[in-house]
Structure 1
Amino acid sequence: MVKTLDARTSQGSNGQQILTPSFMNGVPLLFAQVGLQISNPGMSIRTFFSGIVEITASQLPVNGNLVIEVYRGLGGSQQLVYRANTTVLANPFFSPCILSFSGSEYNVPAPGNGQLVYSAYATFSYNPIYNVNNVRLGPESFNTTVYSDD
């Protein structure tokens, strides 16, 4: 039998306004973080996560690249568990760019302190001879649910 241990959402924006700070070219930006409470887990812990990030590159004359990375843990002990990317087209006709993602992690080690932390980062990269501002439009959200077997 499967039981849900916890579920959390981190929402940076519902998409109603431009977000700050904006992306710095090629620098990962933490856009979401959740702490899931793990109490009396069963033998096998697994996590399902999903999210969305929306940006624009209409000011760029060339395409950019958007990368989403999800890590488990905090600080120097973070472990990459998921990565997705897409090309952000510079053409205003195709902007904004929405990247929605979903992933999972199986056989997650039980946290010693009872809290399982996931952090989601977005990195926007483009030709460094150009400069853009206010490319984060939103929505930005990250949803996680952790399960175990009884």
Structure 2
Amino acid sequence: MVKTLDARTSQGSNGRNILTPSFTNGVPLLFAQVGLQVNNPGTSVRTLFSGIVELTANDLPINGNLVIEVYRGLGASQQLVYRAGTVVLANQFFSPCVFSFTGSEYNVPNSGSGQIVYSAYAIFTYDPLFSVSNVRLGPESFNATIYSDD
């Protein structure tokens, strides 16, 4: 039997307002973080997560890249558990770029603190020869649910 231990959402924007700070070329931007409570877990702890990021890059002269990275932990103790990306097309017709993702982590190690933290970063990269003004539009959110067997 599976039991849900906790579920959380971190929402930076529902899509109604422009977000700050905006992206800096190639610099990871923390856009979401959740702390999942893990009390009396059974065996086989696993996490399912999903999210969405939207940006505009109307003046992008050549294609860029948007990468999402999800880490377990805080600060220097972070462990990369998921990475996915998409091409941001240099075409106003395809802007804004909406990127949604779903991932999971199996056999999550037990935390001595009773909490497991997931941090989600977005990295926007493009040719540094060009100056690109881009905007984090939203919606921008991250959802995580942690489960275990009884």
Does TM, scored on the shorter chain, surpass 0.5? yes
Within 5 Å, give how 1:1-150 maps onto structure 2: 1-150=1-150
Question: Share of identical aligned residues, percent?
Answer: 79
Distance in 2 (CA, whole Å) between partners of 1:116 and 1:44 is: 15
Contact kept, 8 Å, 2:57 with 2:134, in 1: the verdict is: no
Look up the equivalent residue of 2:110 and give its one-letter code: A
Q: TM-score, normalised by structure 2?
A: 0.98
Look up the equivalent residue of 2:67 and give its one-letter code: V
Distance in 2 (CA, whole Å) between partners of 1:115 and 1:47 is: 13
Residue 138 of structure 2 aligns to a residue whose secondary structure is strand
Contact kept, 8 Å, 1:66 with 1:125, in 2: the verdict is: yes
**Residue 114 (structure 1) shift:** 0.3
Q: Which runs of 5+ in 1 are unaligned?
A: none
RMSD, aligned α-carbons: 0.7
Q: TM-score, normalised by structure 1?
A: 0.98
Look up the equivalent residue of 1:46 and give its one-letter code: R
Count of residue pairs brought into register by the alignment: 150
Q: Which runs of 5+ in 2 are unaligned?
A: none
